[in-house]
């Protein structure tokens, strides 16, 4: 029988409906992996630095040669969702309609000089370098009040990617989105009732239960949420309190990178090169010191298409119970971590491509 579950963080409902998995649906790789190692028409490939607006952050490939080749670049988005600017976005209301100037920031994190690189192909250090870019830019952008800074990644056409060169994005908004107000309201009420952080309590309870835990390290945990709204949705969360990823110390950042790389590799081994989005959620600007919220990295594979029921009710339908997803991911991670003969990693990628 399908089960309705209520998300403890948003208090919205999802339906976990394994029966729905039996009907025909899209599976397997939805996007062919980019073939060439470089593309002469790609604005993010080395040699095309003049095709992007002036970079706002860079990590040199050789730390002793800051002006030389780069490992990671952050540049303003040429087609921004919100125009760059520091001034306040004043609200104007006419009747029932309220508007504000669309100013904030929209940046692209060019994750690698290689056109065909992907996160699971790298080593942990390469992934940590990308998280370092997120942390540095979140710190630089979070001065706007009110506002929110959101690093995210789209992978695959069905997840919204328009360019194959490995990249993620960081948007800074001049308002706090309703979803964040809701997360904050729920977390604040929990704190009022219990005197503790909902997120830290949740992580401790999930670790004690174990059924939805995918992997752990000293400081961070990967788990599938109880009310996951998409199949194989996975979160990486800190074990200890930290409201904003921008304040994460190096060891937590490095552990998050290692878990993220392994998780994306496990997802690819298990399901092929599926489309996904991830978003790195932190407290809104100015709330960094709050004791009732914790950052989390939310990875959402795009294996289902929300349709009329979801539109009309706001209730997500997830055909893969999070407990099953966690068990499968644990197994895939163990296989990934097991000693492999030379070339085994390449063959697992080739399988995912096929
Ligand atoms: N882009 C850019 N400069 C270019 C070409 C593209 O800044 O010369 C941006 C583009 O606006 C887009 C991003 O690169 O936001 C690529 O992002 P992605 O493919 O993840 O998804 P999109 O934002 O297109 O949905
Ligand atoms: Zn490229």
What is the residue with the minimal CA distance to atom 21 of ligand 1?
A: 161
pLDDT of residue 33: 55
204 vs 12, 187, 210, 221, 246, CA distance in Å? 22, 16, 10, 10, 23
What is the residue with the minimal CA distance to atom 9 of ligand 1?
A: 77
Distance, CA 147 to ligand 2 centroid (Å)? Answer: 32
pLDDT in tens, 139-192: 999 998 899 999 999 999 888 888 999 999 999 999 999 999 999 999 999 999
Tens-binned pLDDT, residue by residue, of the chain (354 aa): 999 999 999 999 999 999 887 765 555 554 455 558 889 999 999 999 999 999 999 999 998 998 899 999 999 999 999 999 888 888 999 999 999 999 999 999 999 999 999 999 889 999 999 999 999 999 999 998 899 999 999 999 888 888 999 999 999 999 999 999 999 999 999 999 999 999 999 999 999 999 999 999 999 999 999 999 999 999 999 999 999 999 999 999 999 999 999 999 999 999 999 999 999 999 999 999 999 999 999 999 999 999 999 999 999 999 999 999 999 999 999 887 665 444 333 333 323 222
pLDDT of residue 35: 56
Distance, CA 151 to ligand 1 centroid (Å)? Answer: 14
pLDDT of residue 336: 73
User: Is ligand 1 within 6 A of the CB of residue 34?
Assistant: no
Distance, CA 162 to ligand 2 centroid (Å)? Answer: 12
User: Is ligand 1 within 6 A of the CB of residue 78?
Assistant: yes
> Domain locations in the chain?
3-21+43-79+100-353
CATH number of 3-21+43-79+100-353: 3.30.428.10
pLDDT of residue 53: 96
Distance, CA 44 to ligand 2 centroid (Å)? Answer: 5
User: Is ligand 1 within 6 A of the CB of residue 50?
Assistant: no
pLDDT of residue 104: 96
User: Is ligand 1 within 6 A of the CB of residue 79?
Assistant: yes
Nearest ligand to the CA atom of 109 = 1
Nearest ligand to the CA atom of 117 = 2
What is the residue with the minimal CA distance to atom 10 of ligand 1?
A: 79
User: Is ligand 1 within 6 A of the CB of residue 161?
Assistant: yes
Distance, CA 158 to ligand 2 centroid (Å)? Answer: 20
- Tell which atom from ligand 1 comes closest to the C-alpha of 154: 20
What is the residue with the minimal CA distance to atom 11 of ligand 1?
A: 79
- Tell which atom from ligand 1 comes closest to the C-alpha of 162: 19
The set of catalytic residues is: 167
User: Is ligand 1 within 6 A of the CB of residue 108?
Assistant: yes
């Amino acid at each position: 029988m399908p089960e309705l579950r209520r998300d403890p963080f948003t208090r919205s409902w999802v339906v976990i409906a394994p029966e729905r998995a039996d009907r025909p649906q899209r599976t397997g790789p939805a996007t062919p992996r980019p073939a060439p190692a470089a593309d002469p028409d790609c604005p993010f490939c080395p040699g095309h630095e003049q095709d992007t607006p002036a970079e706002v952050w860079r990590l040199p490939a050789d730390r002793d040669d800051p002006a030389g080749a780069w490992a990671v670049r952050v540049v303003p988005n040429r087609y921004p969702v919100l125009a760059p600017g520091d001034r306040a976005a004043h609200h104007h209301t006419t009747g029932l309609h309220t508007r504000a100037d669309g100013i904030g920031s929209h940046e692209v994190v060019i994750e690698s000089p290689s056109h065909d690189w992907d996160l699971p192909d790298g080593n942990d250090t390469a992934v940590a370098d990308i998280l370092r870019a997120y942390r540095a830019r979140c710190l630089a952008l979070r001065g706007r009040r009110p506002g929110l800074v959101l690093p995210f990644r789209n992978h695959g056409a069905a997840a919204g990617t328009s360019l194959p060169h490995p990249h993620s994005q960081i948007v800074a908004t001049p308002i706090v989105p309703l979803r964040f107000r809701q997360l904050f309201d729920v977390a604040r009420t929990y704190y009022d009732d219990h005197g503790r952080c909902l997120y830290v309590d949740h992580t401790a309870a999930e670790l004690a239960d174990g059924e939805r835990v995918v992997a752990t390290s000293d400081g961070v945990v990967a788990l599938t949420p109880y009310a996951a709204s998409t199949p194989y949705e996975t979160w990486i969360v800190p074990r200890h309190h930290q409201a904003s990823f921008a304040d994460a110390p190096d060891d937590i950042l490095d552990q998050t990178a290692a878990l993220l790389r392994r998780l994306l590799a496990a997802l690819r081994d298990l399901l092929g090169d599926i489309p996904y989005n991830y978003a790195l959620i932190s407290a809104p600007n100015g709330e960094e010191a709050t004791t009732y919220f914790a950052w989390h990295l939310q990875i959402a594979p795009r294996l289902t298409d929300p349709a009329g029921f979801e539109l009309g009710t706001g209730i997500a339908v997830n055909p893969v119970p999070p407990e099953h997803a966690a068990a499968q991911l644990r197994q895939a991670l163990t296989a990934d971590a097991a000693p492999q003969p030379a070339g085994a990693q390449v063959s697992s990628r080739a399988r995912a491509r096929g």
